[in-house]
Structure 1
Amino acid sequence: MSTMTALSKAEFTLLGRNRVLLFNAVVMPLIFPVVLLVVGSRGGSLEAAGVSAALEIFALFLLVFLVYYNLLSVYATRRDELVLKRLRTGESTDLQILLGPAVPSLLLTVILTIVVGGVVVALGGGVPVNILLVTVALVGGAALFAALALITSAFTRNAEAAQITSLPVILLAMVGSSLLRSVVPDSLARVVDLTPMAAVSDLLNLGWFGNTTAGDASVGFASTFTEAGMPALVMLSWVVGSLVIARTHFRWEPRS
């Protein structure tokens, strides 16, 4: 624990010194959903569709910018500067070295989720039907996109290259959001349902509204666990698959 604390503290310090990453980590996930919620509340109580859109925008920016892109840049930079290689010569295990940079993102995920959830409730957006599923959606989503960052870092030479290598995952995340899934042809709907962000979106909507589409009838607290089976399985499959690939392809030092 002392090793993890030291590594995490160092990453928090470095994150605070990097204004670009700090802006992406804190401001980007908050500004758009909060503005959308405030504007939607001017006419009275928030509508379910508006709350759903705000929550999904929050989840998208949170997981893509705070977790995925931030960790991708960190892993690529630490490898390029031989930090990872030097850490492996000390007492830290490989798992601790990889988890250290992820701790700030995971803690900020929890904090920002509490903030946005509090804003939704304060503005009259209702309370979650199943708060456990909301937690699983965002914390599990953070673990998923952290694992994707490990894979992407294998072919990302440095932080500058991350702007290009991250595009496929960012586009995949955008397609999986229900805001865009509604316009996807039916022939591709089942494929899109298997994408990472689709699983996060379905679990988030089930946890907050009791259904996967805002406006549909709520299935109630107990039934949400049954409905969450498929998206939870998709999320777990992505996490396990990504970690298996990262275990064999992750690079600890720059290419010679």
Structure 2
Amino acid sequence: MSTVATTTSAGRLASLARAEFTLIGRSKGVLFTAVFVPLVLPLSLSRSLDKGNLKDAGLNLGTVMISSAIAFSLLFAVYSALVSVYASRREELVLKRLRTGELRDLEILAGAAVPSVVIGLVQCAAVAAVCTVALDAGAPDAPQLVLLGVLLGIPLCVALAALTTVFSRSVESAQVAAMPMLLVSMIGSGAAVPLEMLPDRVAAVCEFLPLTSALTLVRGGWSGTLSGGEALKAVAVAVAWIGIAVFAVQKRFRWEPRR
């Protein structure tokens, strides 16, 4: 009596994730972007922020730096790194070959994202701990909101990374295509400049940018200044962006190189 070996979704995902960990470890450029850039940028930002202006806006340097550091981890360790990973795997026909096997489309994209997501989570925890001690930020008043902000920001960055590769023909052009999201998020989502320091009308528009809601939950959860209504609004906007990005990926993502 013969038996047929079958694989589970978890097993396939774990195997693909192990392979991706090996590949990302060999890619020095991606590894540098994912590991070192998010750690260096907050240090540069802390020197440029005026403590007096922050105090006038009712902000604490430690809280601002924690949310900014987490933002940089999401943007560079997850989003920017994954743009390179997805584009590289597509151009090398890896994605096309994987689709001929048992792996489902979602498993392929998720497996490729695991290393970046793990690095991003570790960095978020590390920078939060360092900023808490070094800048005397204190413990978060609402840790559940901080965690929710990170957990919403990660799938959003993964989906946006996959979507960004649609507008590129190579790994090099993929990084160029990622620049608008990076710049808009750093300037308009509160990563480099808190929304409280922007003009009211500009801040009102920036509240609806993709990454703003996640950072609002992180900063508001840490400082305890976020009301229940504001938290619900931030969650709704973040979930809406995730839904839009996932839908667009399902419709537009390219599994083969464009010739």
Among 176, 180, 188, the alignment partner of 2:189 is: 176
In structure 1, give the amino acid aligned to 2:75: V
In structure 2, give the amino acid aligned to 1:125: A
2:222 counterpart SS class: helix
1:160 counterpart SS class: helix
1:239 aligns with 2:235: no
Give the total of aligned pairs.
239
In structure 1, give the amino acid aligned to 2:176: I
1:129 counterpart SS class: coil
Deviation of 1:184 (Å): 3.9
1:209 aligns with 2:223: yes
User: In structure 2, how many angstroms separate the alpha carbons of the residues matched to 1:233 and 1:183?
Assistant: 24
Identity across the alignment (%): 37
- The aligned residue for residue 17 of structure 2 is 8
The answer (yes or no) to whether the contact 1:73–1:158 under 8 Å persists in 2 is no
User: In structure 2, how many angstroms separate the alpha carbons of the residues matched to 1:141 and 1:167?
Assistant: 18
- The aligned residue for residue 221 of structure 1 is none
User: In structure 1, how many angstroms separate the alpha carbons of the residues matched to 2:216 and 2:152?
Assistant: 13
Q: 1:1-256, aligned counterparts within 5 Å?
A: 1-33=10-42, 49-123=60-134, 124-174=136-186, 175-177=188-190, 179=193, 181-182=195-196, 184-211=198-225, 224-256=227-259
Deviation of 1:11 (Å): 1.0
Structure 2, unpaired ranges of 5+: 1-9, 50-57
Mean CA deviation greater in 13-22 or 114-123: 114-123
Mean CA deviation greater in 146-155 or 105-114: 105-114
TM-score (norm 2): 0.84
Mean CA deviation greater in 153-162 or 174-183: 174-183
Deviation of 1:207 (Å): 1.3
TM-score (norm 1): 0.85
Structure 1, unpaired ranges of 5+: 41-46, 213-223
User: In structure 2, how many angstroms separate the alpha carbons of the residues matched to 1:198 and 1:30?
Assistant: 20
